[in-house]
Amino acid sequence: MQIAERISHFQESVIRKMTRLAMANDAINLSQGFPDFDTPPALKEAAAKAIRDGNNQYSPTWGYGPLREKLAEMYTERLGWPVDPAQHVTVTCGVTEAMNAALLALLNPGDEVLIIEPAHENYIPSAIFAGARAVPVPLEAPDYRLDPERLDRAVTPRTRALILNTPHNPTGRVFDAKEIAGVVDVVLCHDLVLITDEIYDRILYDGREHTFPGALEPLRERTVTVSGLSKTFAITGWRLGFVIAPTHLSEAVRPVHDFMTVCAPTPLQVAAVSALNFPQSYFDDQVADYHQRRALMMGILDEIGFVAPTPEGSYYTLAEYSGVPVPQAEWDSMRFAVWMVEEVGIAVVPGSVFYSLPGYGDRSVRFAFPKKLSTLEAAGEKLRKMLNSTTGRPFVQ
């Protein structure tokens, strides 16, 4: 039986595999980025009510009308141009589907798309689906700053698009005005489309504010803004995302979405309207809670000997483990992560997963901390126990 050639270019997600290993080993799961605290009760009730009220059939393929209207209102303010729910908003099954739809709609086979690495695991398979070539541009540890000159050098006559994820997974970076200005220059100079992934736009630390690249005047006509509700409302299983784009880009993305999934889950779209209408206090409390989680996580990592940049946004940090005593000093990040889940009882993601470039990420692992403080404290206990291990196993540094 023939298997499609494209399948040979990627494998199952290592992030989701680490979650399975966490379950198999009864480990604390700090690998996949989802909360272990519950969805706001009002939102659960809204979803249950939407089902009881009969919202159980297909919704319009571009999205449930009132949800598109709410998103259009929000993004008119955020992007500074009149976002029309009838033309510019498409509700998708998560950012994952939105990104697939965008790349399928905008790239031809053989086109190149710039991907800033370390990068969320899904982008390369998305490019492969479109027959496009993902061209990695690395951010370097320990600062993970975006170097626009390096971005510029990666452009070839085949480059068509650039994916920009900010706040960033897995580094926790929030690209600053200078870095964003560099991206704008590269996009304009080479006539590219910018596809953003802004799923962490509400998880920012130390008073930072999110820059919506699609709001920048020269980018408005060439930006596909992608975001979603998974993270902001602790509903990663609801699969709700969206694309906001000017008419010519929206018209390209919509039929792909239509034939890929028909529509996002209807009752959950109905409930999502109430989420987007939550009072400001919900978002403020969430940011305050994330500051606590970040402080606890970073304190633990520092105590154990990990070297990790303090996240500026999102809920991840990419931690270097060279200073942590492990049985074999030469372990690469995959071996280290397997040891962590099997022997220490904590699942993390190997740093190398986020790079296609060889040699990058090899001495680091990603910790995700959208967790109850008690979960993070329990992880701290396990790590301390590892450090003071009395197993008699020789620790070689």
Q: Which residues bind ligand PLP (CB under 6 A)?
A: 33, 94-96, 120, 165, 169, 197, 199, 228, 230, 236, 241
CB of 330 to ligand PLP, least distance (A): 30
Residue closer to ligand PLP by CB (options 95, 386) is: 95
Residue 369 backbone phi and psi in degrees, to 5 = -120, 35
Decide: 244 and 238 in contact? Cβ < 8 Å. no
Count CA atoms within 13 Å of residue 52 on its CB side.
Answer: 6
Phi-psi region of 54 (alpha: psi -120 to 50; beta: other; left: phi over 0): left
Q: List alpha helices for 80-226, DSSP H.
A: 94-106, 123-129, 148-153, 177-189
> Residue 201 is encoded by which pair of tokens?
């736009």
Residue closer to ligand PLP by CB (options 15, 326) is: 15
Residue closer to ligand PLP by CB (options 113, 326) is: 113
CB of 133 to ligand PLP, least distance (A): 20
Decide: 141 and 320 in contact? Cβ < 8 Å. yes
Residue closer to ligand PLP by CB (options 294, 324) is: 294
| Three-state secondary structure call for residue 395 | coil
Residue closer to ligand PLP by CB (options 202, 383) is: 202
Residue closer to ligand PLP by CB (options 89, 95) is: 95
CB of 6 to ligand PLP, least distance (A): 21
Residue closer to ligand PLP by CB (options 201, 320) is: 201
Cross-strand partners of 197: 165
DSSP codes of every residue in 55-68? --SPPPTT--HHHH
> Residue 179 is encoded by which pair of tokens?
């870095």
CB of 118 to ligand PLP, least distance (A): 11
E-assigned strand segments in 77-183: 89-92, 112-117, 133-138, 159-165
Decide: 301 and 373 in contact? Cβ < 8 Å. no
Give the residue at shortest CB distance from ligand PLP: 94
CB of 62 to ligand PLP, least distance (A): 17
CB of 267 to ligand PLP, least distance (A): 18
- Number of CB atoms found within 10 A of residue 147's CB: 15
d(CA 202, CA 214): 16
CB of 230 to ligand PLP, least distance (A): 4
